[in-house]
Structure 1
Amino acid sequence: MTHPDAPFETRCLHSLEKVFADEPLRAVPYMRGSALKGETYAFQVAYRAPRLTKRIAVSAESPLGDRVSLRAVGLSPAELPSQYDHDDYILRATPGLYPDPLYPIQEERGVTGFRHQWRSVWVAVTTDADTPAGNHPVVVRFAGEEGEPLGEERFELEIVDAELPPQTLIHTEWFHGDCLANYYGVEVFGEAHWSLIERYLDTAVRHGMNMVLTPLFTPPLDTAVGGERPTVQLVDVTKDGDCYVFGFERLERWIAMCDRVGIRYFEFSHLFTQWGAKHAPKIMADDNGTYRRIFGWDTDSAGEAYRAFLGAFLPCLVAFLRRRGLLDRSYFHISDEPLAEHMPWYRSASELMQSHLGELPIIDALTDYAYYEQGLVRRPIPSNDHIGPFLERGVPELWTYYCCAQYKQVSNRFFNMPSARNRVIGIQLYKFQIAGFLHWGYNFWNAQYSIEAIDPYRVTDAGCTFPSGDAFLVYPGADGTPVESIRMEVFYEALQDLRALQLLEGFVGRERVLAMIEDGLEEPLTFIAYPHDAAWLLGLREAVNSAIKAHIG
């Protein structure tokens, strides 16, 4: 609504809209919805001022009290918004400013209204088991510098008297500890670094991440051949001739920290280099009193020296995990994204790893079914555009992932993609009973191959390489607190959809839930065939909530 004394426009929108500053707002108003207990429900209020107006106060009034939070949707630059041969399911392909970061609104500064530019405020309602069921208004008000009212919007949120079940999906977004140290200028594993790691992991957990990439040694990921990333090594290595002694004190601290914030699973960093498994990761050791690199790009992964090292290390690690009762929380990696031509090296590495790890799970992102068929990886993670053969053959406990290469037909979360394309994966994960989801970029604030560190507020495409929105989900807050993104919030909505569907299944059975999902669709839902329509997603979720309400009441 618009206040009669001020030509200030507002409009209530759902969370899947993206409000661009340089185009008219065509989205229709969206003013009511429902949520289950234990869910975070989000909507937006867009606003447009007739002239430059600073320090606009924004407030929310609701019986839900401090469960309601407000953040300003900021704009991020995108020089490379998409691949050149993108599909048609995008918002735009042009470089420019895209809505993405969610900034806290400081009371003394408020938000700014730009002349004839639409901007938006992100409104989140975080519920728990004690949140009262029923209908609750949320009124968002805008006021000028002198307190004069400019406009307001009213949203009606129904809290259904049923609680979301715990998340069963294993979810990891690769955590890059060196990027935190680089950006904030702190010593790796110094006290300031540990504090940053914990804050960033806490944010990840609150958005459904329950597994963390754990750097036994510096992960050999996104590193130029012959190059190095800063050392982030949790295991101490002492070398005396051909003998090794391992220290797990830092790993102990890492595990204790993860337990505090709610991380359930540990994926131990890859023990062979990316895209081929031909070399060892960078491993630092005290070698007869000299701290130096003992393995790296110059190491033949199949050579006797590295095989002997792993033969000493892996039994010690397994014994440590067994003593700590962590074997059922532990996953291992060999090499990321091996291709068909890399199979001889991967086979050698896999046989060595399996000889020491037995039945402990080894997971790797890949696209070639032959790796699973030949027993080289028992827990494959195919990309969502290559998952078909794995589904057709009934691979158990199947995971999936996407990255910069998955941009045709399938779900992903680039800046220029509709948020519905991000959120739909929750329905897909449910239908195909996917056990885990992996993504490589929680906070990769480097250029491609980690040639140099970047400022993620200025460079969002890893140095004109990966489409904006692929490399990271969070921005670095000035006070050491992560600045979250629209993409992160919407992906968490997808995970909540998955949990709501599982709850409904407990009432009506899986077949009825699947029938509800595909009711009215022209073809069965798959990872590449699904409605390109936010209204379908929102309508389905409301129908699920209504069905749950009917079975509890």
Structure 2
Amino acid sequence: MSGARGETVSGQAVFRTEIDTGSAAVSISDLRQRGSTVTIPAGAVKLQWVRYIDITRNTAGVPLDELTAKAPASIPDPYWEDDTIPVKADQAQPIWIEIHVPRDARPGDYEGKLAVTSDGKELSLPVSLHVWSFEMPAERHLFVANWWSFPGRGFEDRASEYWDLLARFSEFLVQHRQTDLSAGIGMITESGDATKGFTHDTSRLERYADVVFKAGIRQIHLHSVGHRTAGILDPLSQIGPDEANLRRLSALEKVIQRRGWQQRFAVSIVDEPFIWYEDSYADTVDLVHKAAPSVRVIEAVEAEYLGKIDIYVPKLSHLNLWYPRFDEIRRQGAELWFYVCCHPLGRYPNRFLDQSLLKARVLFWINYLYDLDGYLHWGLNHFAGDPYTEEGISKGLPQGDRAVVYPGRNGLLGSLRFSAQRDGLQDFEYLWVLEDQLRKTKDRIGADAFWLDPRQRPLELCRRVIWSFHDYTRDPAVLLDTRRAIAEEIEALQASPLLVVQTSPPEGTVIPAGPRHVNVRGLVPPGAKVTINGKPVPSVRPSGYFRHVCFMADDTPTITIAAEHEGKTTATTRTFRLTD
């Protein structure tokens, strides 16, 4: 395993026994840095047995080769709350490992031991962790919301603990890098009438906001301030505002101004407005902005001309089909997110229970590839029965669409899919860190780095994993190898000698015969010697800027660039796809 300082690093082990055991317990030692006495304490590692969900059907509309198992089957997802569990003979029993790397951890290689004790016997495996020298940003650079039912099933009789549960649940979500959560506009209560006037009590919503903002939540989504005049798929249906909710928004605007909560609230009008709502919906957006200028409108949309929405959230498949229009909306100043839910199906990535965890993780590589601002899913914990059953997490919908966390005795429990989501968000941050470091290098060099696009190299690496909204690797090793390559490039920017390279066209481009002409630009320390494919680059400016042209032969798809300075050498490569 490997991770940055401040990152939660995931891994998995599997325990199997030849006989039934009523009591299997798992433990881990301190992780000791190789060659020193420095440790990451065992207390920084969370070990969780993984529980199975039995399914009787597969998600419809997904090709069989995109499923992890054909129903009927048992699929691992929720975590057990107990440290000790029974294990049946010949059952593959996963153990999920989460190492919370301290922010002050010393970079390097660490080693420890994972042990399972069962029926008085102990089995053990070595555990190794490489800690990178850079930090996982504490600030989350992607907006993320999984709308919830709070406090939700499993906590119905805990009303006296409402505020404590709210704090614990919010902290749990923040630990998984979620930024936003949902609430009802009805938390603002209204009294009075049109004759005598209306008054509003905002105290409950204010307390709610105080608790979740303290936990690290950035924005609250309020539902919903509008209504349809007919069914969602009725072409004659229109959208109109609920007048009481517009008054509630006006009351909220006063709170925002008094509390300094600008950019902390967003509101939905109606979920998933279709094309025949465009005019009436746009008019309602204007009324919302008039009532509460500081409250942004966010909507999961089924059409692309819905007025001055602040945060457009098209379904992933719609974003793919209508991308030019949504890109135009973004250039005009709106935020652009995407959402998945019971759709899209087919070969699109999603977080269905019976699909590979890679799909849940790769969603956030899409955010980086297209420079999208956020991600939304409706179902954090909307159970329809026993949460630990197929019915509970899937009734009437694709497998697992209703929930991605589970209720424990004193709080929410995670799952393999929720951990995969967090891992994907951390992947996004790796790409962000590399871009940020390149931008700082560009700023430091100044005029002679005019050519450097800080996003180009992260995008080249991102495209090793994903190529479009629906084309991506299915091989976890490709994703993990790319992640390691990103980390190594981040560290190389702090190493000596510095070597920053950018090619035109970008790495990975298909280059037909013609001639094949690739321009190479780069930065090295002043006085460094540069070679490209073993041949010296004749001139390097005092700033360290160099440039060169490569004519690529049919049998040479790779360009090797090396810098030598003060007895040390750094080298890198760029590879292209050559065709005739």
Give TM class, smaller chain. 0.7 to 0.9
Contact 2:386–2:392 (Cα < 8 Å) also in 1: no
The correspondence of residues 116-265 of structure 1 with structure 2, limited to 5 A, is: 116-146=90-120, 148-149=121-122, 151-165=123-137, 166-177=139-150, 179-180=152-153, 183-186=154-157, 190-217=159-186, 234-242=187-195, 243-265=197-219
Give the CA deviation at 1:135.
Answer: 0.5
Residue 473 in structure 1 maps to residue 404 in structure 2? yes
Q: How many residues are matched?
A: 459
Deviation at 1:301, TM superposition (A): 6.6
* 1:302-341 map, 5 Å: 302=240, 306-307=242-243, 309-341=244-276
For 1:489, the equivalent position in structure 2 comes to: 419
Maintained 8 Å contact 1:475/1:482:
yes
Paired amino acid for 2:157: V
For residues 144 and 152 of structure 1, the distance between their equivalents in structure 2, rounded to whole angstroms, comes to: 11
Could you tell me which residue of structure 1 aligns to residue 512 of structure 2? Answer: none
Residue 455 of structure 1 deviates from its aligned partner by: 1.6
Partner residue, 2:17: 49
Give the alignment partner of residue 380 of structure 2, picking from 412, 422, 442.
Answer: 442
Change in Cα spacing, 1:390 to 1:329, as seen in structure 2 (3 Å) is: farther
The reply to whether residue 504 of structure 1 matches residue 444 of structure 2 is no
Check 1:378–1:465 CA distance in 2 against 1; reply closer, same or farther (3 A cut): same
Counterpart-to-counterpart distance in 2, 1:313 and 1:467: 36
CA distances 1:409-459 after superposition (whole Å, capped 9, x unpaired): 22111111001111111221111111111110111123xxxxxxx221134
Say if 1:143 and 1:71 are closer, same or farther in 2 by CA, change over 3 A.
Answer: same
Q: Read off the aligned partner of 1:153 and give its amino acid letter.
A: L
Aligned AA for 2:296?
A: P
Cα deviation 1:213-255 (Å, max 9, x = unaligned): 12222xxxxxxxxxxxxxxxx2121123542110011111101
Amino acid at match of 1:516: L
Change (3 A) 1:463 1:384: closer
Cα gap change, 1:512/1:348 in structure 2, threshold over 3 Å: closer, same or farther? closer
1:518 and 2:463 aligned: yes
Give the secondary structure class of the aligned counterpart of 1:104: coil
Distance 1:550 1:186, change over 3 A: same
State the AA in 1 paired with 2:369. K
Question: What SS class does the counterpart of residue 532 from structure 1 fall into?
Answer: coil
Shift of the alpha carbon at 1:534? 0.8
After TM superposition, give the deviation of residue 169 of structure 1 in Å.
0.8
**Aligned residue identity for 2:202:** F
Residue 492 of structure 1: how far off its partner (Å): 0.3
SS of structure 1 residue aligned to 2:116: strand
Q: Which amino acid in 2 is paired with 1:497?
A: D
Displacement after TM superposition at 1:496 (Å): 0.2
Deviations 1:133-159 (A, max 9, x none): 21011321122332x32x221121100
- CA distance in 1: counterparts of 2:17 and 2:480, whole angstroms: 29
Aligned partner of 1:546 among 481, 484, 488: 488
Distance 1:358 1:240, change over 3 A: closer
Any conservation in 2 of the 1:80–1:467 contact (CA below 8 Å)? no
Letter matched to residue 41 of structure 1: V
Superposed CA deviations along residues 473-525 of structure 1, whole A, max 9, x for unmatched, are 21111x22212111100000000000011111123421111122335x7xx71
Which secondary structure state, in structure 1, belongs to the residue aligned with residue 66 of structure 2? coil
Q: Is the 8 A contact 1:58 1:142 kept in 2?
A: yes
**How far apart are the structure 2 equivalents of 1:312 and 1:337?**
23
- 2:85 is equivalent to residue 104 of structure 1: no
Work out whether residues 263 and 296 of structure 2, in 8 Å CA contact, stay in contact via their aligned partners in 1. Answer: no
What TM-score results when the alignment is normalised by the length of structure 2? Answer: 0.74
CA distance in 2, matches of 1:324, 1:356: 18
SS, match of residue 132 in structure 2: strand
> Which of 475, 494, 498 is the aligned partner of 1:533?
475
Secondary structure of 2:316 counterpart: coil
TM-aligned CA deviation for residue 176 of structure 1:
1.1
- The secondary structure found in structure 2 opposite 1:88 is helix
Give the drift of 1:93: 3.5
CA contact (8 A) 2:151 2:165 kept: no
CA, structure 1 residues 302+50, in 2 after alignment: closer, same or farther (shift >3 Å)? Answer: closer
Instruction: From the superposition, tell whether residues 329 and 378 of structure 1 become closer, same or farther in structure 2 (CA, over 3 Å).
Output: closer
> Whose relative contact order is higher, 1 or 2, with alpha carbons under 8 Å and at least 6 apart?
1
Larger deviation, residues 60-69 vs 495-504: 60-69
User: Out of 344, 352, 363, which is 1:425 matched to?
Assistant: 363
Q: Structure 1 runs of 4+ off > 6 angstroms?
A: none
Equivalent residues in 2 for 1:335-484 (5 A)? 335-343=270-278, 345-358=280-293, 360-371=295-306, 375=307, 377-388=309-320, 391-393=323-325, 394=327, 395-396=329-330, 397-446=335-384, 454-460=385-391, 464-477=395-408, 479-484=409-414
Give the letter for the 2:247 counterpart.
A
Instruction: Structure 1: state its 5+ residue gaps.
Output: 1-32, 218-233, 280-299, 447-453
Aligned to 1:71: 48
Q: Is the 8 A contact 2:7 2:136 kept in 1?
A: yes
- 1:510 partner letter: R
Give the corresponding residue for 1:6: none
Quote how far apart the aligned CAs of 1:463 are.
6.1
- Aligned counterparts of 2:229 and 2:143: Cα–Cα separation in 1: 25
The residue that corresponds to 1:24 in the other structure is none
SS of residue paired to 2:80 = strand
Retained in 1: the 8 A contact 2:8–2:99?
A: yes
More strand by share: 2
Aligned counterparts of 2:16 and 2:28: Cα–Cα separation in 1 = 18
Measured at CA, do residues 212 and 505 of structure 1 come closer, stay the same or move farther in structure 2, by a change above 3 Å? same
Structure-2 separation of matches of 1:517 and 1:347: 36
Cα gap change, 1:406/1:301 in structure 2, threshold over 3 Å: closer, same or farther?
closer
State the one-letter code of the partner of 2:126: R
**Bigger-Rg structure (1/2):** 2
3-state DSSP of counterpart to 2:226: coil
Q: 1:400 to 1:191 in 2, by over 3 A?
A: same
Question: What secondary structure is seen at the aligned counterpart in 2 of 1:328?
Answer: coil
Whether contact under 8 Å (1:461, 1:467) holds in the other structure is: no
Look up the equivalent residue of 1:76 and give its one-letter code. I
Once the two structures are overlaid, the 10-residue window that deviates more, 249-258 or 359-368, is 359-368
Q: Is 1:271 aligned with 2:203?
A: no
- Look up the SS of the partner of 1:531 in the other structure: coil
Give percent identity, aligned residues only. 23
- Partner of 2:124, secondary structure, is strand
